[in-house]
Amino acid sequence: MRLKDKVAIVTGAAQGIGAAYARGLAREGAAVAIVDILDPNPVAKEIVGNDGKALPLLVDVSDEKQTQEMARKVADTFGHLDILVNNAAVYGTIVRKPFEEITVEEWDRLYAVNVRGIFLCVKAVAPYMKAQQHGKIINVTSSTFFKGNEHFLHYVSSKGAVVAMTRSLARELGNYNINVNAIAPGQTLSEANLKRGEQVDAHSLNIRLLKRRLFPEDLVGTVIYLSSSDSDMMTGQILLVDGGTAFH
Ligand SMILES: NC(=O)c1ccc[n+]([C@@H]2O[C@H](COP(=O)([O-])OP(=O)(O)OC[C@H]3O[C@@H](n4cnc5c(N)ncnc54)[C@H](O)[C@@H]3O)[C@@H](O)[C@H]2O)c1
C-alpha cells in the first residue's frame, strides 16, 4: 500500500491504459477520480467493488470550467489532492493518414485535448498542491516522439509538446516540492488498439530488445513509482517503457 491515504486523478481512465493506471493506484491505497468523456462509472464501480475508493467524473479536459470543477470536487470529496495522471488524449480514435490529409479541425481538436488538456488540468490542481507543498504530476507522452512516426503528425508532435511541458512545469513547480515527470509507453495493446485491429508489426518487435508485446499492465508499475515517495527526488524526467526500443 505505497499510496495509502493519497488522492489521485487519472484522466482518460474510463478504458484502456488509463483504467489500468486507476486500478493500480487504487490497489496501492489511493482514492482515485476516474475522469473521462466516456462513462467513468464502470471502472469506478469495479474499484469500489474491490474495497477501493473511486469518484467517477464526466469531464472534458479541454474545457477550463470543467477542469476547475474537477479539481474542486476531488478536493471537496477527499480533503486533498496529491497525484495527477495526465493520460487523456485523442489517440484511439485517430485514423492514420499522410500529413497533407490532416485537416485543420482535426489538428486543433487533437491539440485541444492532448496539449491544452494537460495545461488546464495542471492549472486546476496546482493551487491545491502548492498549498500543501507536495504533489506528483505524471504526464503521458509516447515513445513515438523519440522515433518519429509516419501518418500521425498531429499526434506525434503533440506528444513532443508533452515532453516540453513536463520539463518546463518541473522548473516552475520545483520550489513547491511538486514533482513533474512523464511516462513514454511504446506501442501497447490497449482496448483502443485491439479494437482497431492494430498489432505490433514484425519490424517493431524486431527492433524491440525485449521480444514481446506490451500490455497496459506493463506500464502501471512506472506510474505507481512516479506517484510514490520512492521518486521524491526525480523531476522533469521522461521514463521510456517500450521494451527497449528508443533511447535518450
Ligand atoms: N496504446 C498505445 O500504444 C500508446 C502508446 C504510447 C502512449 N499512449 C498514450 O496512452 C494514453 C492512453 O492510450 P490508450 O491506448 O488507452 O487509448 P484511448 O484512446 O483508449 O485512451 C484515451 C482516453 O482518453 C479519453 N479522452 C479523450 N478525449 C478526452 C477529453 N477531451 N477529456 C477527457 N478524456 C478524454 C478517451 O475517452 C479515452 O478513454 C494516451 O495518452 C495515449 O496517447 C498509448
* Structure confidence by residue, pLDDT tens digits, 97-150: 999 999 999 999 999 999 999 999 999 999 999 999 999 999 999 999 999 999
Q: Average pLDDT, stretch 26-41?
A: 98
CA–CA separation, 158 and 109 (whole Å): 11
CA–CA separation, 241 and 216 (whole Å): 11
At residue 196, the pLDDT reads 78
When the pLDDT of each residue in the chain is averaged and rounded to a whole number, the result is 96
Q: Catalytic residue positions? A: 155
Is 80:132 a contact under the CB 8 Å cutoff? yes
Residue whose CB lies within 8 A of the most ligand 1 atoms, among 85, 91, 94, 213, for a mutation test: 91
Task: Flag whether pLDDT at 198 surpasses 70.
Answer: no
Domain boundaries, given as residue ranges, for the chain: 7-186+216-241
Whether the model clears a pTM of 0.85, i.e. scores above it, the answer is yes
From atom 36 of ligand 1, which residue's Cα is the shortest distance away?
12
Task: Flag whether pLDDT at 5 surpasses 90.
Answer: yes
Is the minimum distance from the CB of 113 to ligand 1 under 6 angstroms?
yes
Model confidence at 202, pLDDT cuts 50, 70, 90, reads confident
Angle of helix 153-173 relative to helix 117-132, nearest 10 degrees, comes to: 20
Q: CATH number of the domain at 7-186+216-241, please?
A: 3.40.50.720
The residues with which 181 forms a beta bridge, in sequence order, are: 138
Is the minimum distance from the CB of 204 to ligand 1 under 6 angstroms?
no
At residue 200, the pLDDT reads 64
Is 192:244 a contact under the CB 8 Å cutoff? no
